[in-house]
Amino acid sequence: MESKTEWSLVELTDTLNKTAAIDKDNLVLVDGLTGAGKSTIAMKACRKGCKWFDMEKDVLYSREDVINWVSTTKPGSWGVADEVINVLFKREFAAKQQKFLIKVLDMCRERNLTLFMCIPNFWAIDKHVLDGRVRLRIHIARTGLAFMWKPSNSPFTQDRWYRYYNEKVCWKWDQYPNARKTKGFLGFLRFGDLEVKEKEKYLKIKQRKKEEVKKREEEEETKDEISKQRSVEFGKTLMLFILKKKGLLRIGALTILAELEGVTKAALSIRLKNFDKNYGESSENLVKSVKEGTLYNNMDNKDIIDANKDKMQHSAI
């Protein structure tokens, strides 16, 4: 991409389409403060750059949305990951973040897709992804004004986005955002708001999709919690069963354990009977195979437990 002082939206989208046409993809990161206009400029660009862009199917709010879109959308399509912070940094996802992104971007390249990712902090994305995959940075300086940068193509630099050099040049950025003096600077872009009807449609879609994502997340959390509770319940009952079969449960032990759990002794006894009934011969084999201090290390025990995995997950203990 060539450097110039001011870009129009048409010039930007034409350039991105030319890049996609030579069997490449476009990953564009749009960063800036909340409410500055990240989604606005991304959707305006998509409307200009892709004739079949549709907010209903091409604006994405979850990992599932992104994967489905990249896998099934028409080659050459443009899309917006509207709140990519929710896509990349969800609970228990940080360790898989880089693999997920690389997988998505590999598919983007295969299908010549252009994907805008809106994120508050550009530097929150993994360095390997920034250096090797991101083609363009659009920073919303204020509502209606964006600055654009591209990375260095030098095979020798370790700082492809000139971060350290530009930090020194722009140490008074808040008072004087002298973007023209920075390295990698492509130019600035002015943009207006979405049309009234278009904005109303976008806000309705955004609210509905975010509610759907929230509902799915709550269902997943509930499912995970139930699974954990079942695993804990199974483990406790298994230990009691082994102790009982080996004659190691002292008189009154069940009463004390029942009180600690907040259940009756009868309920605990019924649970043990049900366990014996549900797992039958396997439970007896497990008791026979247990050696002192080897419950979790003995591979025979593991095989017996694995053989009853489905029962463990679904049986009421």
Token digits of residue 101: 């992104």
In percent, how much of the chain has pLDDT > 90?
A: 40
- pLDDT class for 45, splitting at 50, 70, 90? very high
pLDDT attached to residue 306 = 52
Mean pLDDT value of segment 301-306: 47
pLDDT attached to residue 286 = 60
Whole-Å CA distances, 183 to 89, 176, 186: 29, 16, 9
* pLDDT value at 91 more than 50: no
Nearest to 162 by CA among 184, 141, 129: 184
pLDDT attached to residue 292 = 47
Q: Please say whether the dihedral angle defined by the alpha carbons of residues 134, 137, 37 and 52, taken in this order, is positive or negative.
A: negative
Residue whose structure tokens are 């990349």: 88
Lowest model confidence (mean pLDDT) among 51-55, 86-90, 148-152, 260-264: 86-90
* pLDDT value at 18 more than 50: yes
Rounded distance, CA 25 to CA 16, Å?
Answer: 9
Mean pLDDT value of segment 278-296: 56
pLDDT attached to residue 249 = 74
Mean pLDDT value of segment 194-203: 94
Give 239-298 as a 3 state SS string: HHHHHHHCCCCCCCHHHHHHHHHCCCHHHHHHHHHHHHHHHHHHHHHHHHHCCCCCCCCC
CA 304 to chain centre: 35
DSSP string, 139-205: EEEETTEEEEE-----SS-S-TT-HHHHHHHTTTTTT---GGGSTTEEEEEE--PPPHHHHHHHHHH
pLDDT attached to residue 282 = 59
Rounded distance, CA 252 to CA 41, Å?
Answer: 71
- pLDDT class for 283, splitting at 50, 70, 90? low
pLDDT attached to residue 232 = 79
pLDDT attached to residue 184 = 95
pLDDT attached to residue 98 = 61
pLDDT attached to residue 87 = 62
Mean pLDDT value of segment 97-110: 77
Q: Tell me the CATH class for 6-194.
A: alpha beta
Rounded distance, CA 28 to CA 37, Å?
Answer: 15
pLDDT attached to residue 27 = 92
Lowest model confidence (mean pLDDT) among 67-81, 121-135, 173-187, 266-280: 266-280
- pLDDT class for 294, splitting at 50, 70, 90? very low
Mean pLDDT value of segment 97-109: 76
pLDDT attached to residue 116 = 96
pLDDT attached to residue 88 = 61
- Mean residue pLDDT of the chain comes to 82
* pLDDT value at 8 more than 50: yes
* pLDDT value at 219 more than 80: yes
**Residue 40 exposed, middle or buried by CB count within 10 Å (0-12, 13-18, 19+):** buried
Rounded distance, CA 117 to CA 136, Å?
Answer: 11
User: Which DSSP helix (H) or strand (E) runs through 308?
Assistant: none
* pLDDT value at 154 more than 60: yes
* pLDDT value at 140 more than 90: yes
229-282 tens-digit pLDDT: 878 777 777 778 777 777 777 777 888 878 877 888 888 888 888 887 777 655
